[in-house]
Structure 1
């Protein structure tokens, strides 16, 4: 909710500052006559006292919005890298999602006939959801390779992190040809 509010404020702030900048540039270049500009301000505000109050009010609002954006830009988010948090008897443990992805890739690469692996991890209440994308060599059974990969990834990740794995989905993106080896003839 705060992020949506900050985005809305940033949009409105940018719009107001942009319009004010354009008006200031046109006025500085002589685009408005002094009498016309004074008449517009007088008709819009109804007098000098109102102008002063309006300028102070608008300036205060712009200052507050500027301070909000300054604080947001300086403040570092404590959860900058997505992580999985666990509580133990000795304290907290934080494991980054990237670490779990690397563990899944390492486990999946142990499956024979698999190439070019990618992993994504999703954290849910039931446990980890791991999605493996792979290319396989064309000489093996894809269902058997996939099941072996699922079993290996699930066991290795659970053993290494202590976090239950809810599911391991395997997506076989393509089949590659294994490089053929030619016997050289010696004559």
Structure 2
């Protein structure tokens, strides 16, 4: 609700600044006659209490909105990113999704023959859904390697976080080319 209010205030504030800028640009480029400008300024500061009150009211509103935006821009956001929340008998535990992704990458990298790993984690009611994307060296069986990676990642995540893993999906993106070594010949 507050974010919607802040967006509305930002829109109104931006519109007011835009309108004031247009008036200043037109006035600076000679778009208003000198007599009209003097009359307008004397009305704002002079006897007409309605015009003076209106200008003062608008100025106070713009000032308050400016203070609000200054506070919002300086205030730190508490929410650092998506997290998984657990409640224990001793209190709350929050584990960031990024932490779980890094744990999954660490566990998957233990599987021999995989390279260039990436991980994504989705949180659902059933548990964590982990997607591993990998390149393999092509030396061994891809189904065997994938099953080993699934088992390792699932066990490591459940042991480290205490959160059940619903599934570990492995996507083998490609086979890496091993660098060929050339023997130098001396003739």
After TM superposition, the score normalised by the length of structure 2 is 0.79
Residues 33-182 of structure 1 mapped to structure 2, 5 A cutoff: 33-36=33-36, 48-180=48-180
Q: CA deviation at 1:106?
A: 0.3
What's the secondary structure of 1:64's corresponding residue?
helix
Cα RMSD (Å) = 3.1
Alignment check: 8 A CA contact 1:114 1:134 kept: yes
Q: CA deviation at 1:186?
A: 10
Alpha-carbon spacing, 1:22–1:120, altered in 2? closer, same or farther (3 Å): same
Q: CA deviation at 1:24?
A: 1.7
Unmatched 5+ stretches in structure 2: 42-46
Q: CA deviation at 1:162?
A: 0.6
Q: CA deviation at 1:59?
A: 1.9
Alignment check: 8 A CA contact 1:101 1:120 kept: yes
Alpha-carbon spacing, 1:159–1:14, altered in 2? closer, same or farther (3 Å): same
Measured in 1, the distance between the counterparts of 2:23 and 2:171 equals: 56
* Residue of structure 2 equivalent to 1:44: none
Measured in 1, the distance between the counterparts of 2:112 and 2:96 equals: 28
Alpha-carbon spacing, 1:32–1:181, altered in 2? closer, same or farther (3 Å): same
Unmatched 5+ stretches in structure 1: 42-46
Measured in 1, the distance between the counterparts of 2:75 and 2:180 equals: 57
After TM superposition, the score normalised by the length of structure 1 is 0.79
